[in-house]
Amino acid sequence: MYVYQDYDQRLLEERVAQYRDQTRRYLAGQLSEDEFLALRLQNGLYIQRYAPMLRISVPYGMLSSAQLRTLGGITRDYDKGFAHVSTRQNIQLNWPQVEEVPDILAELAKVQMHAIQTSGNCIRNITTDEYAGVNPHEVEDPRPWCEIIRQWSTFNPEFAYLPRKFKIAVNAVPDADPAVIGVHDIGVQVVHGDDGETGFQVWAGGGLGRTPMTGALIGEFVPWRHLLAYLEAILRVYNKYGNRDNKYKARIKILVKALGPERFRELTEAEFAELKDGSMTLTEDEVARIRECFTAPAYRDGQDTGAVDRALDENRAFNRWYHTNTRAHKHDGYRAVTVSLKKTGRIPGDISDEQFEKLADLADRFSFGEVRNTHQQNMVLADVAKDDLFALWEELDALGFATPNLGLLTDIVACPGGDLCALANAKSVPVAEGIQRRFDDIDYVHDLGPLDINISGCMNACGHHHIGHIGILGVDKKGKEFYQITLGGRGDKVSRIGEKMGPSFESHEVTDVIEKIINTYVDRRLENEPFIDTYERIGMDPFKESVYG
């Protein structure tokens, strides 16, 4: 992980002191609600339906065991004992008190954490593949580039008041998109040129929300030295031409569509020509300095995996978990383990104070003291020796973290919805739980194969419903909660927006509708054909007919 230098820590502590004084003045009546609004948003504090919500930044999803323990203590001392993993790899507290937020930020600063730029019209958390650095398919580790972008974007005054919020993701896997760069304001794809030099394909104009779109390729090959200059060129075009009069038309996706990709590219290249070879040019020394923060841990060689092999043969539950929740690793003798936060009966993505602390202990024992958050609201122990897997599985199972459903129907992504969020039109969590309980036969769920269900409580799409194979969107109809279904979305090899099925359904109908969709898939699929492939082969009509008659 990147380790803060003295200037990083000093800057962070100064920001905490600054916000403490701003909060003091607000509580004393010296700042109005409107004056305080911009200040609290810059420090990640929202006012939700029943209480404030604090979004804590987790750059590219990485957490140390010390940070996990601090989060556990904060969750216990300042919240109600639970925190939430968001779909952009952050951590959210749903019940902090406004007057206590400066104390929370001070506790976070002690372990190099903060809530800066987790809200507001600025560049938000930089995200990537949760398996970055250990993914055997990546062309190189994308995390150093994420850190370089993070440092460039943090406190950058030119981009502190953009027309709208702005999200950047980085991917280094050539034939897949685990970072979902296609639906980000800027998506950065790490590539290697013919001479082996690192460069980037840069996409712009993706995004979900009210008007979901996938991005357009703007930079076909940007040499690594010019990455920041090219990103800055795109941001300058957006700052100049983005719509500031209508927040629903303010995202960069609207601008790219209005101008067209060719014109947007021309404007970007004009800005880039002025910035190229200037102060934004990266040097080999600086890139090497950042890369040194992400060196491989001290992996063990010559492991005895005989015990694991026997456990795979003898223990069906362990075997299923191994093949579902662990994946290949760059280093022979290791696996990356996904810690499931999707046990039926628990809010997807929620983790308790005690679980934070116990997971920190497991990270220290089994994964070099590090954990990653995922876009699917789970967590990952990225460096687990194979001969430790059975012992780890037993520990995770005792914590309720070993549900073997990664990437399957019950691994549902859901925002907090109307239970907490002031923007939501409908609840998400009860819908997710209803589906999980209907499909509680784990053998059947495994037989169905890969299937993404995503649920959002409103058009802001925090549950990424547009890119779920089955998407569920909460809508309001004359004060009643209804749910709109989409099919065919993707956020894996390609990014694609799902297609609306038809009229929406009342809350009590949703689980039955999902079951009809699944039954249609089972009836029409070819042998071992995943849901999304069946949908792409037969189209929407058979599913509509089964649901609407």
**What is d(CA 332, CA 56) in angstroms, rounded to the nearest whole number?**
34
**Residues 220-234, mean pLDDT to the nearest whole number:** 98
Query: What's the CA gap between 330 and 493, in Å, rounded?
Result: 20
Secondary structure of residue 189 in the 3-state scheme: strand
Cα–Cα nearest to 439, from 414, 410, 468, 470: 410
Handedness of CA 155, 350, 417, 486 (dihedral sign): positive
Distance CA(220)–CA(450), nearest Å, equals 32
Q: What is the dihedral sign for C-alpha 419, 422, 427, 432?
A: negative
pLDDT per residue as tens digits for the range 44-76: 999 998 999 999 999 999 999 999 999 999 999
Could you tell me the pTM of the whole model?
Answer: 0.96
What residue ranges in 77-229 does DSSP mark as E strands?
Answer: 82-85, 91-93, 127-128, 168-171, 186-192, 198-204, 216-223
Interval 156-175: pLDDT, tens: 999 999 999 999 999 999 99
pLDDT tens for each residue of 347-390: 999 999 999 999 999 999 999 999 999 999 999 999 999 999 99
Could you read off the pLDDT of 523-546 as tens digits, one per residue? 999 999 999 999 999 999 999 999
* Exposed e or buried b per residue across 161-195, where buried means at least 16 C-beta atoms within 10 angstroms of its C-beta: ebbbbbbbbbbbbeeebbbbbbbbbbbbbbbeeee
The answer on pLDDT for 29 being more than 90 is yes
The crossing angle, in degrees rounded to 10, of helices 306-314 and 316-325 is 110
User: 346-350 long-range CB contacts below 8 Å, 24 or more apart?
Assistant: 346/400, 347/82, 347/84, 347/414, 347/416, 347/429, 347/432, 348/377, 348/412, 348/413, 348/414, 348/429, 348/432, 349/84, 349/85, 349/86, 349/377, 349/378, 349/413, 349/414, 350/82, 350/83, 350/84, 350/85
pLDDT of the residue at 406: 98
Backbone region of residue 378 per phi and psi (left: phi > 0; alpha: psi in -120 to 50; beta: other values): beta
In this predicted structure, the answer to whether residue 418 has a pLDDT above a threshold of 90 is yes
d(CA 417, CA 474): 8
Q: Which helix (H) or strand (E) holds 431?
A: helix 429-438
Spatial separation of the C-alpha atoms in residues 169 and 188, rounded to whole Å: 6
Phi first, then psi: what are they for 303, rounded to 5°? -70, 150
Burial class (CB in 10 A: 0-12, 13-18, 19+), 31: middle
Integer Cα distance of 53 and 84 in angstroms: 11
- What secondary structure, in 3-state letters, does 163-179 show? CCCECEEEECCCCCCCC
Question: Is there a contact between 104 and 78 (Cβ–Cβ < 8 Å)?
Answer: yes
Helix, coil or strand: residue 39: helix
pLDDT beyond 90 at 493? no
Helices (H), 328-426: 353-366, 389-399
H or E element in which residue 453 lies: strand 453-456
Provide the pLDDT for residue 304: 78
In this predicted structure, the answer to whether residue 492 has a pLDDT above a threshold of 90 is no
298-328 per-position pLDDT tens digit: 999 887 778 899 999 999 999 999 999 999 9
Average pLDDT over residues 76-87: 97
174: left (phi over 0), alpha (psi -120 to 50) or beta: alpha
Question: Per the structure block, which two tokens stand in for 135?
Answer: 């993914």
Calpha distance 199→209 (Å, rounded): 30
If you search the block for the tokens 């925002």, which residue do you land on?
A: 415
Residue in the block written with tokens 């067209």: 260
* Mean pLDDT over the full length of the chain: 96
What is the pLDDT at residue 216? Answer: 98
What does the pLDDT read at residue 314? 96
Tell me whether strands 91-93 and 52-56 are parallel, antiparallel or unpaired.
antiparallel
Residue 495: name the closest of 205, 165, 192, 255 by CA. 205
Residue 402 identity: A
What is the Cα–Cα distance from 361 to 430, expressed in whole angstroms? Answer: 32
Amino acid at 240: K
Long-range CB contacts (within 8 A, 24+) of 5-12: 8/112, 9/109, 9/112, 11/155, 12/109, 12/112, 12/114, 12/116
Q: Could you report the per-residue pLDDT of 262-284, keeping only the tens digit for each?
A: 999 999 999 999 999 999 999 99
Mean pLDDT of 86-93: 97
